[in-house]
Amino acid sequence: MELKQVMQQQSFVIVGDTLNETKFAYKIKHAMANCGYDVQCVGKELESINDAEGEVDIVDLCIHPVKGLELLKTCEKPFKSVVLQPGAGSDEIRAYLTEQQIPFIDGCLLVGLATFPREL
C-alpha cells in the first residue's frame, strides 16, 4: 500500500504518546482528526490495538520499535496496513510484518496529509 492509498482510508490507530504536545504522535492525532479521519490512540490512551473500537484500517507506529513490535505481536484485531513513522521502524518489525504478510510502508502521515489532502 502506498501513502496515497493509506490516506484514502478512514480509521486510524495512532500508537505513541498522543497526550504530550511535543510528540509527533500528538501532532498526527490532532491533524488527522481535524481532517475528518476516525482516530483512536494506543499508548497513553488505550493499552492495546485490540482495545480500539470498530474497524481499523491503518496502524500508525510513532513509538520505540521494541514496544511497537510487542504491540503488533499481541494484536488480534484485523487491519489493512502499518505505517512506520521515522524512528519507529526496525529490521525486526519489518521482518515480522513481512513474515506475517502484513502490508506496511515507511512513511509519515503528516506528509500524507500535506501531499494528499482530503476532500471533506
The per-residue pLDDT string of the chain (120 residues; one tens digit each, 9 = 90 and over) reads 899 999 999 999 999 999 999 999 999 999 999 999 999 999 999 999 999 999 999 999 999 999 999 999 999 999 999 999 999 999 999 999 999 999 999 999 999 999 998 765
Count of CA atoms in the C-beta half-sphere (13 A) of 116:
12
Residue with cell 485490540: 50
Radius of gyration of the chain (CA): 13
Q: Which three cell numbers stand for residue 59?
A: 496502524
Regarding pTM above 0.85, the answer is: yes
8 Å CB contact between 43 and 60? no
SS3 66: helix
8 Å CB contact between 2 and 115? no
